[in-house]
């Protein structure tokens, strides 16, 4: 399998964390990709010109981390990441949506922060920060579980991206229970081995 990737992308990290948790990561060859440059190989696989994009062994191009993670979960491995039914399934999917939303907001905010200052841009960055702050408050009130599944992986990748891109804005003091959860959960190999450098 081939994965168009970027080392700073929290969504690529989420995919690779799932691959490590499912013990299939060695079957994935990462292709470093500058998606913003719309390289022809990526465009041929993903018309959206976004990473992650996985090319399966059958040559099928899959994009968007929820789809790729569910595909990875369908492969042989030791630990199912998507609970099959009941309350555990809906909680995992809800946490995935919350984590993905936090990553979306943080990535948008990061993109805006490197452009010239304008009132509309500042308003958008503040809107994204408020979405992240509300999400942190929800997670503080209702902690994710320590079970390694798609929901807890998405939340850990979102928190890791906040540390990576917005480390100057500490979130732990206002969310001590969530900070303790993250300190423990990040010890899982799938999160520890995908920590972004720098």
pTM for the model: 0.89
pLDDT confidence of residue 128: 93
Does residue 52 have a cis peptide bond before it, meaning omega lies within 30 degrees of 0?
yes
CATH homologous superfamily for 2-74? Glutaredoxin (3.40.30.10)
Domain ranges of the chain: 2-74, 86-189
pLDDT at 115: 77
Match 């299939």 to its residue by tokens.
Answer: 24
Q: Among the CATH numbers 3.40.50.150, 1.20.1050.10, 3.10.560.10, 3.30.70.20, which is that of 86-189? A: 1.20.1050.10
pLDDT 10s digits, 37-57: 989 999 999 999 999 999 999
Q: What are the beta bridge partners of residue 61?
A: 55
Instruction: Tell me the percentage of the chain whose pLDDT exceeds 90.
Output: 83
- Is the torsion defined by CA of 70, 72, 77, 78 positive or negative? negative
> Residue 120 in 3-state DSSP?
helix
Residue 101's pLDDT is what?
96
Q: How confident is the model at residue 77 (pLDDT cuts 50, 70, 90)?
A: low
> Residue 79's pLDDT is what?
72
Q: Inform me whether the pLDDT recorded for 134 exceeds 70.
A: yes
Say if residue 124's pLDDT is above 80: yes
């Amino acid at each position: 399998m081939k994965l168009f990737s970027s080392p700073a992308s929290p969504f690529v990290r989420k995919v690779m964390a799932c691959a490590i948790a499912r013990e299939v990561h060695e079957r994935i060859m990462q292709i470093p990709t500058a998606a913003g440059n719309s390289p022809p190989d990526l465009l041929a696989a993903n018309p959206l010109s976004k990473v992650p994009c996985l090319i399966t062994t059958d040559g099928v191009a899959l994009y968007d981390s929820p789809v790729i993670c569910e595909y990875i979960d369908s492969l042989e491995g030791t630990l199912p990441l998507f609970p099959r039914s009941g309350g555990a399934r809906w909680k995992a999917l809800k946490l995935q949506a919350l984590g993905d939303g936090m990553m979306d907001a943080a990535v948008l905010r990061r993109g805006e922060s490197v452009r010239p200052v304008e009132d509309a841009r500042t308003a958008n960055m503040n809107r994204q920060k408020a979405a992240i702050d509300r999400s942190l408050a929800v997670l503080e009130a209702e902690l994710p579980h320590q079970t390694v599944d798609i929901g807890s992986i998405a939340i850990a990748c979102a928190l890791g991206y906040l540390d990576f891109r917005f480390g100057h804005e500490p979130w732990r003091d206002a969310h001590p229970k969530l900070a303790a959860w993250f300190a423990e959960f990040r010890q899982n190999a799938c999160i520890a081995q995908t920590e972004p450098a720098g």
